[in-house]
């Protein structure tokens, strides 16, 4: 894939937002922690048949993966058994959702586990795993954290799979280079249900420069009415 000209010489990794969403842009099945795409879609006729394609594509994404403690706590990592080691290095943004057990879960799963936090009392500071690194910031700076990922850890490409609010921060701070979306054949609705991009809304015409303008790279019909859309961020 040809890289955008604006990425040449950047001091941060090339980023790709990779997500599964409904046709109306929802990345969850509802507004409570009991409702979740990963848990719910496998049991819904018309969705479960083609869902495997998303996970197959996910296996081909970058070997550095960005997520949040909020999303992972919702997925139960604070209670899960120790996982098998993977070749993926995980980066989590978290202030208070991960427990010590959750931190150890990701250390076991990751080639390298990097935690980004603004919480001096985070349980990760009490862990001593060899592959654990912490980026501490007094005030969150995603741009600064990404620069540190590249400079300290050699992270050249990063797949972003966080929640809608943090996805919104990546968008507004112009930190996305590609968008890779698998669209499930579903309409979920609900203004309180998380969407691909949440967070602060634009309120004035002067803020329109914060829009993410995209160029289509590929539109591919998958089986069972799923669709894959790949874009380059150009503005």
Region 19-233: CATH code:
3.40.430.10
Q: Residues 11-63: pLDDT tens digits?
A: 999 999 999 999 999 999 999 999 999 999 999 999 999 999 999 999 999 99
Distance CA 68, CA 81 (A): 19
Q: Give the per-residue pLDDT at 84.
A: 97
Q: Give the per-residue pLDDT at 4.
A: 55
Contact in structure between 91 and 111 (CB atoms under 8 Å): no
Q: Residues 175-214: pLDDT tens digits?
A: 999 999 999 999 999 999 999 999 999 999 999 999 999 9
98 SS3 class: coil
- Exposure string (b/e) for 182-192, b if CB count within 10 Å is 16 or more? bbbebebeeee
Give the Å distances, CA to CA, from 174 to 6, 65, 67, 167: 11, 18, 18, 11
95 SS3 class: coil
**Among candidate residues 183, 176, 131, 171, the one with its CA nearest the CA of residue 19:** 183
Contact in structure between 140 and 118 (CB atoms under 8 Å): yes
Q: Residues 108-167: pLDDT tens digits?
A: 999 999 999 999 999 999 999 999 999 999 999 999 999 999 999 999 999 999 999 999
Distance CA 198, CA 71 (A): 14
Domain spans of the chain? 19-233
């Amino acid at each position: 894939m040809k890289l955008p000209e604006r990425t040449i010489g950047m001091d941060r990794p090339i980023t790709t937002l990779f997500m599964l969403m409904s046709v109306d842009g929802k990345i969850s099945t509802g507004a409570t922690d009991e409702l979740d795409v990963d848990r719910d879609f496998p049991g819904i006729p018309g969705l479960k048949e083609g869902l495997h394609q998303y996970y197959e594509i996910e296996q081909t994404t970058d070997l550095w993966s960005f997520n949040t403690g909020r999303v992972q706590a919702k997925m139960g990592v604070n209670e899960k058994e120790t996982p098998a080691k993977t070749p993926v290095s995980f980066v989590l943004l978290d202030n208070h959702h991960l427990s010590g057990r959750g931190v150890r879960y990701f250390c076991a799963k990751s080639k390298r586990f990097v935690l980004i936090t603004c919480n001096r009392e985070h349980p990760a500071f009490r862990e001593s795993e060899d592959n654990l690194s912490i980026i501490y910031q007094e005030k969150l700076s995603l741009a600064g954290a990404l620069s540190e990922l590249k400079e300290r850890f050699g992270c050249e490409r990063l797949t972003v799979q966080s929640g809608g609010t943090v996805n919104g921060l990546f968008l507004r701070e112009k930190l996305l280079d590609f968008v890779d979306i698998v669209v499930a054949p579903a309409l979920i609705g609900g203004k309180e249900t998380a969407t691909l991009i949440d967070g602060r809304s634009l309120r004035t015409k002067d803020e329109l420069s914060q829009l993410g303008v995209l160029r289509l790279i590929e539109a591919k019909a998958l089986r069972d009415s799923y669709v894959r859309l790949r874009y380059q961020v150009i503005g």
